Amino acid sequence: MSRKSSRRSAARRSATLLAAATLSFGVVAETVPAQAAAPTSVSASAPSSARTAQVAAVTAKAKKKKLSRAARNKAIAKKMVAKRGWSNRQYKCLVKLWNKESGWNHKARNRSSGAYGVPQALPGRKMASAGKDWRTNPATQIKWGLRYIKGRYKTPCGALGHFHSRGWY
């Protein structure tokens, strides 16, 4: 086996191990590099079609800058968190919470429970209250997740505290 072939094989094995390592809590998530998030202009109160257009614009910018899916979704959430008047501390709690829940993958599905999306809504169809495109639009999922957190725990740090004490939120 040549050096080049052995390097490729090692890279494939590493990628396979990395993909396997990302499967935690029964959540199927793609491996994505952690990179800085770009600012975005997604409004939590915008109609679903407007959010879709804004997400498309953020996605186009992110692809240009080669941001990961997780970084794009975090950028959307950061804007929505700020719009709610929550502090950067609350945003950091949200990041920790949803890193554990879905890795910020809007297509994440928990095989055992059926929870779906960035906030891991159970059942996923609950997110339809935030928009018809709940299956594919991370902004819709984030909007629903922030409403859920506000209604049940008041803040993302409250939800994270509950998650640490009980293992769920």
Q: Tens digits of per-residue pLDDT, 29-88?
A: 444 443 334 444 445 555 667 767 767 776 666 666 778 999 999 999 999 999 999 999
Of the candidates 162, 167, 120, 165, the residue with the CA atom closest to the CA atom of residue 145? 120
pLDDT (tens digit, 9 = 90+) per residue, 118-137?
A: 999 999 999 999 999 999 99
Which DSSP symbol is given to 124? G
Picking from 94, 167, 106, the residue whose alpha carbon sits closest to that of residue 140 is 106
The sign of the CA dihedral 129, 132, 134, 135 is: positive
Q: Map out the domains of the chain as residue ranges.
A: 42-166
Alpha helices (H) in 69-155, listed in sequence order:
69-83, 88-101, 138-153
Indicate the pairing of strand 109-110 with strand 27-28. Answer: antiparallel
- Tokens 């629903």 belong to 144
